């Protein structure tokens, strides 16, 4: 039986590189860093004093004062990114179709900013001062729920929480929802806003993030020998997914096909990747099998590439395991070198980069790549964007807890076997 094909018809994002897809993509192609010193709070007493913040975001102007005040920042990002994606898709929502449109938004942490703010009020003034909106604002399902409410979408709805794999899993599970016939259209992606003191302190004490305070824009350096940890980022990205038949029937512009999805768990360690990237390798293999593709069909990989010592080496090993000799021919980049690590929103933003690469035939670089690491010896597209014409591209997302997710996007003109 031929399975339902799922295509992308709209995209939207809020990122450290720009507050829409076009500005974000142009900044990525130019090798712009979105990293700078933290302005959201006073970070002068922290070991790390920089992050990749969203700039110039005005929630009250975009959402109205009342709604903005009742949403955590990660939810605000998601609403705006979804609005962009829906406008990009040309999809009109009405009583005739809203029951068949669902939402899956991933987040690694949810409304931690709200939780911190209300905890401070509780400790300073007592329980009566805690906001009645605290609970719905802090819950991880806040973005998925508010997107549904805001746009009137009554189909399947949920939040995915798999740490830094959350939004890649959200897209993959949305694809599966359409494939099984539970929805014709899915709004899928991720949102995160965890640049707050308690989260920064936690990552600092784990020794997981860079401390390159003397040169923040060069701090995120995936695969480089002198990498010293990831850089926290924030933002949101949303894709509009439809069954191919639904998109074709309404004359939608098809941006790409989601041809493969794989997800696994390392079952190894709560924060460290499995040795030689075994779980990641299995995940990539499953995605290739799902897409009915061979490793040699993949023309670009957007790597998880966090700029941590263990992740970059294990992902490189996993790619070598799956791609064999082709591992040294396939171009790879980590756009986290520019955006920082958007945690639960990373996979969705990186999916947009993959789709834009298919559309425009240009591959974004890995900036700050200066000193090769003998353990990381593949083609990481160092420092300059590259012309190419990939037909199929892969993006990887791996999270604390051993969560792995891989997605494959294909050019709409590529021949996909049923």
Evaluate whether 19 touches 259 at the Cβ level (below 8 Å): no
Q: Do residues 204 and 121 share a domain?
A: yes
For the stretch 4-38, pLDDT in tens is: 999 999 999 999 999 999 999 999 999 999 999 99
Q: Is residue 258 part of a domain?
A: no
Q: Do residues 240 and 269 share a domain?
A: no
Q: Do residues 243 and 384 share a domain?
A: no
Evaluate whether 164 touches 233 at the Cβ level (below 8 Å): no
Q: Is residue 256 part of a domain?
A: no
Residue 260 has pLDDT above 90, yes or no: yes
pTM: 0.97
Q: For residue 299, give both structure tokens.
A: 């023309």
Q: Do residues 66 and 118 share a domain?
A: yes
For the stretch 326-360, pLDDT in tens is: 999 999 999 999 999 999 999 999 999 999 999 99
Separation CA 258–CA 1 (nearest Å) = 18
Q: Do residues 155 and 205 share a domain?
A: yes
Q: Is residue 385 part of a domain?
A: yes
Q: Do residues 228 and 337 share a domain?
A: no
Angle at the Cα of 17 (from 38 to 34), degrees rounded to 5?
A: 40
Separation CA 309–CA 226 (nearest Å) = 9
* Number of independent structural domains in the chain: 2
Residues annotated as catalytic (active site), given as ranges: 164, 304, 341
Burial class (CB in 10 A: 0-12, 13-18, 19+), 310: middle
Q: Is residue 418 part of a domain?
A: no
Q: Do residues 217 and 357 share a domain?
A: no
Torsion of CA 136, 46, 344, 120, to 10 degrees: -10
| DSSP 3-state percent helix, strand, coil across the chain (nearest 5) | 40, 20, 40
Evaluate whether 366 touches 223 at the Cβ level (below 8 Å): yes
Angle at the Cα of 326 (from 320 to 332), degrees rounded to 5?
A: 75
pLDDT band at 416 (very low <50, low <70, confident <90, very high): very low
pLDDT band at 415 (very low <50, low <70, confident <90, very high): low
For the stretch 133-173, pLDDT in tens is: 999 999 999 999 999 999 999 999 999 999 999 999 999 99
Q: Is residue 417 part of a domain?
A: no
Evaluate whether 167 touches 108 at the Cβ level (below 8 Å): no
Of 249, 273, 295, which marks where a domain is finished? 249
Evaluate whether 234 touches 344 at the Cβ level (below 8 Å): no
**pLDDT value for 49:** 98
Q: What is the 3-state secondary structure (H, E, C) of 21-36?
A: HHHHHHHHHCCCCCCE
| CATH assignment at residue 88 | 3.40.47.10
Separation CA 352–CA 55 (nearest Å) = 19
Of 216, 249, 282, which marks where a domain is finished? 249
Q: Do residues 204 and 310 share a domain?
A: no
Separation CA 9–CA 407 (nearest Å) = 16
Domain enclosing residue 371, as ranges? 263-410
Q: Is residue 22 part of a domain?
A: yes
Evaluate whether 378 touches 225 at the Cβ level (below 8 Å): no
Q: For residue 155, give both structure tokens.
A: 């189909």
| Residue-level length of the chain | 418
């Amino acid at each position: 039986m031929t399975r339902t094909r799922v295509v992308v018809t709209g995209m939207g994002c809020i990122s450290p590189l720009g507050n829409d897809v076009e500005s974000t993509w142009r900044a990525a192609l130019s090798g712009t860093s979105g990293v700078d010193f933290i302005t959201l709070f006073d970070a002068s007493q922290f070991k790390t004093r920089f992050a990749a913040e969203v700039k110039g975001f005005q929630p009250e102007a975009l959402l109205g004062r009342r709604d903005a005040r009742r949403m955590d920042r990660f939810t605000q990002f998601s609403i705006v990114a979804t609005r962009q994606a829906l406008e990009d898709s040309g999809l009109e929502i009405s009583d005739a179709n809203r029951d068949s449109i669902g939402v899956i938004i991933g987040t690694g942490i949810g409304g931690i900013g709200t939780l911190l703010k209300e905890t401070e009020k509780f400790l300073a003034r007592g329980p009566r001062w805690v906001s009645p909106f605290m609970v719905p604002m802090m819950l991880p399902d806040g973005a998925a729920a508010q997107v549904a409410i805001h746009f009137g979408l009554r189909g399947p709805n949920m939040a995915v929480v798999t740490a830094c794999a959350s939004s890649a899993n959200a897209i993959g599970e949305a694809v599966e929802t359409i494939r099984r016939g539970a929805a014709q259209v899915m709004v899928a992606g991720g949102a995160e806003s965890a640049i707050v003191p308690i989260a920064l302190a936690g990552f600092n004490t784990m020794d997981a993030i860079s401390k390159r305070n003397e040169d923040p824009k060069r701090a995120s350096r995936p695969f480089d020998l002198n990498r010293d940890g990831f850089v926290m980022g924030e933002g949101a990205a949303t894709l509009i997914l439809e069954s191919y038949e639904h998109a074709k029937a309404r004359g939608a512009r098809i941006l790409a096909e989601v041809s493969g999805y794989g997800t696994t768990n390392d079952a190894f360690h709560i924060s460290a990747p499995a040795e030689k990237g075994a779980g990641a390798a299995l995940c990539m293999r499953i995605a290739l099998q799902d897409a009915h593709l061979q490793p040699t069909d993949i023309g670009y990989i957007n790597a998880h590439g966090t700029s941590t010592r263990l992740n970059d080496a294990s992902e490189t090993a996993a790619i070598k395991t799956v791609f064999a000799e082709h591992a040294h021919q396939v171009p790879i980049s980590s756009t986290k070198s520019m955006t920082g690590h958007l945690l639960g929103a990373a996979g969705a933003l990186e999916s947009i980069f993959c789709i834009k690469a298919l559309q425009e035939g240009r591959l974004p670089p890995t900036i700050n790549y200066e000193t090769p690491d003998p353990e990381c010896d593949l083609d990481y597209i160092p420092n300059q964007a590259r012309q190419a014409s990939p037909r199929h591209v892969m993006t990887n997302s791996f999270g604390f807890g051993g969560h792995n997710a891989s997605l494959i996007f294909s050019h709409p003109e590529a021949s996909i076997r049923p």
